[in-house]
Structure 1
Amino acid sequence: MTTSSLELASLLCSRLCHDMLSPVGALTNGLELLADERDPEMRKRCFELLEQSARISADKLKFFRLAFGAAGGFGEMIPVAEARQLVDALVGNNGRIEVNWALANDALPKPAVKTLLNLALIAIESLVRGGTLDIGAELREGVSEIVVRAAGARIAFDKDIGRALDGSMPASELASRTAPAAMLRELAASLGGHLQWALSDEALVLGAELPVV
């Protein structure tokens, strides 16, 4: 699977717009309701909804800035606490997922953090009925090792995402929903690393090994 940088960037932008449409739309709807509402209790409720939508929008933008973007403002090593905060905020807005962390280092290379965030996003979206998310990462002997495990009552994993991760999907079939996985595949290949995934009735396991170059 090969795709141009321009095409991949376009698909990632489409994915970002799709994910931001709901919270931003909620802000617009809330403002329209507030303009016409005169009841104090209902106005209070409108303000609460606006605050919630604004927080979700900000959390998603911060997440995508590091997961999809160039992560300006960071050096080559990124504190793992930054990645943890972004994932915890995303999961906190979901409310049905418990996250367990096992991070062996205080900082990881930028490609490893980008990979961790995107694998976590794939895992979160697979837990349609909630569940447990286990995230582990370690920098050892010049290699970043990342494991993300999603376990729940129902695992909804799109096999096309798996094909994008392992490189078996033709570039012509890529779409906005599979673009992040394709980005990870190309990132891993550029570093001489590899990705892997396994799906069972009990869990989805995603992994990455990325040499530090």
Structure 2
Amino acid sequence: MNSQTDLAAMLCSRLCHDLLSPVGALSNGLELLADETDAEMRAQCMQLLEQSAKISTDKLKFFRLAFGAAGGFGESVPVEEAEEVVTALAADAKRVTLNWAIADATLPKPAVKVLLNLSQIALDALIRGGTLDIGAERRPDGNGRNNVEIVARATGDRIAFDETIGKALQGEIDPSDISSRTAAAHMIALLAEEMGGGLQYALSDDALVLGAVLPEAEGMIG
């Protein structure tokens, strides 16, 4: 991969992959509903449609903030918007306890992109359930500006993490290893680099810790 076009294609592949299951369930539910005459079965079909529609909507809201331009917001995004989409994804994953620790009411839009993508990576690692802790805070850098420090910590009985994603986060991935699976990590690594910051991760048998330090642009109010 050697161009922004290739990265965009990889991200589109990721989005299509993530939406295929809930949208497919919507299609199947509509087919069943069209042929079913039993009232109880039709009620079950409606329940399936409602669940699939909610999951699809939750994912689209996440994609809008995590990958898109997040139109409708200014330079900062309300933290409650980010919390809403992560809470929905954690609920869809099931068996995941979510803890949220962010004091600020808003965060810069690039920081929210990084936070959401780190949260998704951490959530994906909890294949048997567990706890997802998400935190962020502004800290002075000593030069009259703030750094936004972000952490997403996944703990559970089994952590599934492809360290190729870790290499992508740290900007150490070989271009040939960038795929739809690693594209999001590569994207936020590029974003962090553009901001003058960086990403890091630490992995153990029962925990995955993902972190970011992102300098705020001049003129941003903490």
Displacement of 1:5: 1.4
Aligned residue for 1:210?
214
Does 2:193 align with 1:189?
yes
User: What is the count of residue pairs matched by the alignment?
Assistant: 212
5+ residue gaps, structure 2, are: 141-145, 218-222
Aligned residue for 2:119?
120
Aligned residue for 1:135?
134
Q: How does 1:130-169 map to 2 (within 5 A)?
A: 130-141=129-140, 142-169=146-173
- Residue type matched to 2:202 in 1? A
- Residue type matched to 1:148 in 2? A
Displacement of 1:94: 1.7
* Contact 1:104 1:139 (C-alpha < 8 Å) held by counterparts: no
Aligned residue for 1:76?
75
The TM-score normalised by the length of structure 1 is 0.97
Q: Deviations over 1:119-178 (max 9, x none)?
A: 000001000000000000012221110011000010000111011111111112210010
Q: Deviations over 1:1-47 (max 9, x none)?
A: x8421111111000000000000000000011111111100000000
Structure 1 stretches of 4+ moved >3 Å? none
Aligned residue for 1:171?
175
Identity of aligned pairs, percent? 64
5+ residue gaps, structure 1, are: none
Q: Deviations over 1:48-95 (max 9, x none)?
A: 000000000000000011101111111101111110011001111122
Q: Structure 1's 103 and 185: CA in aligned 2 closer, same or farther, altered over 3 A?
A: same
CA RMSD of aligned residues (A): 0.9
Q: Give distance in 2, aligned partners of 1:71 and 1:4.
A: 23
Q: What SS class does the counterpart of residue 155 from structure 1 fall into?
A: coil
Q: Give distance in 2, aligned partners of 1:196 and 1:72.
A: 29
